[in-house]
Amino acid sequence: MKSPLFDAHDHLQDYPSKAESAEALRLAAEAGVELMLCNGTSPGDWEQVLDLAAEHKGVVPCFGLHPWFLRESPPGWLEGLESFLVRVPSCVGEIGLDGGKNATGLARQEGVFAVQLRLAKRLGRPACLHCVKAWGRMLEIIKEEKPGPFMLHSYGGPAEMVAEFASLGAYFSFSGAILDAKREKLRRSLSAVPAERLLFETEAPDADAPGWRAGPAGIVEVVSAAAVILGRPAEEIAALSWANGNKFVGDIRTLKNGNP
């Protein structure tokens, strides 16, 4: 593809070693991936995310407390989070709600989520959101908190909710799951997203779709699959997601050392 590529969501710190993440990034660069959002999930990995972004141009760090890891949040985690955010231009994420079986009570999740959305808004940072089986509450909290730009990563909500989320400023990111022809509901959601809010991601190092290259280089296959579903040339979808990704990251690039 001629257009540079944008990977809207990955976790490079989860590679078993630095050598492996470096190799994945080398392959990604070869495939034309020039920008990606590397998401931290708990205080235990923020330092690694910071290092990866410092070592690799094009890796934008994101710091947040993911709903799966609420038990790993020591007292003072929120102040810790802010101190990472103000050190470098960065986004808030991965944060959100998870109504699935591994998560702690939703009430606690909602408090932790809302407080991080407020921090993102106060610092003028885009937010990368996780949501599983909690779409109604997600919508209510977004309406209450009115954050700045936010992305619903690996969007799995109904197609019918896309327009309302979009009106509140949402970007929607789709993963390699769209490669699965059986995921009709997901493919309908993809088609419902306004062109200017469309993003794609790999969730690297995970790669759970057949035919999907592991690592951020796999964004090539995700974009190609989306192009087929949308009936557009792959080049056009690649250019669109590159433009949207840059718009999403947008303002934080004008920050100096993370400070406004």
CB of 60 to Zn ion, least distance (A): 14
Site map (CB under 5 A) of Zn ion, residues 93-132, x = contact = -x--------------------------------------
- Taking the complex as a whole, the smallest distance from the CB of residue 235 to Zn ion amounts, in Å, to 27
92-100, 140-148, 173-181, 247-255 -> range binding Zn ion (CB under 5 A):
92-100
The residue at minimum Cβ distance from Zn ion is 94
Instruction: Report the residue number, 153 or 227, with the smaller CB distance to Zn ion.
Output: 153
Give 11 or 213: the residue with its C-beta nearer to Zn ion. 11
Stretch that binds Zn ion, among 47-55, 88-96, 189-197, 213-221 (CB under 5 A): 88-96
Rank residues 132 and 240 by Cβ distance to Zn ion and give the closer one: 132
Q: Which is nearer to Zn ion, 68 or 165 (CB)?
A: 68
Nearer to Zn ion, 131 or 230 (CB): 131
Complete DSSP assignment for the chain: --S-EEEEEE-GGGSSSHHHHHHHHHHHHHTTEEEEEEE--SHHHHHHHHHHHHHSTTEEEEE---GGGGGG--TTHHHHHHHHHTTSS-EEEEEEEE-STTSPPHHHHHHHHHHHHHHHHHHT--EEEEEES-HHHHHHHHHHH--SSEEETT--S-GGGHHHHHHTTEEEEE-GGGG-TT-HHHHHHHHHS-GGGEEE---TT---STT--SSGGGHHHHHHHHHHHHTS-HHHHHHHHHHHHHHHHGGGGG-BTTB-
Whether cis (ω within 30° of 0) applies to the bond prior to 94 is yes
We find the least distance from the C-beta atom of residue 176 to Zn ion, in angstroms, to be 13
CB of 8 to Zn ion, least distance (A): 10
In the complex with Zn ion, the residue whose CB is nearer, 94 or 145, is: 94
Task: Please count the residues of this chain forming the interface with Zn ion, following the rule CB under 5 A.
Answer: 1
Residue 115 and residue 64: Cα distance in Å, rounded?
11
Least distance in Å: CB of 257 to Zn ion?
26
Q: Near Zn ion by CB under 5 A, which window of 87-95, 117-125, 132-140, 160-168?
A: 87-95
Measured from the CB of residue 93, what is the shortest distance to Zn ion in angstroms?
A: 8
HSE value, Cβ hemisphere, 13 Å, CA-based, for 198: 20
Rounded to whole angstroms, how far apart are CA atoms 129 and 65?
Answer: 11
> Which of these ranges, 90-98, 183-191, 227-235, 239-247, lies near Zn ion under the rule CB under 5 A?
90-98
Give the CA dihedral 168, 68, 125, 148, nearest 10 degrees.
10
In this complex, which beta carbon is closest to Zn ion, that of residue 7 or of residue 94?
94
For residue 207, the minimal CB distance to Zn ion (Å) is 13
Would you tell me which residues interact with Zn ion (CB under 5 A)?
94
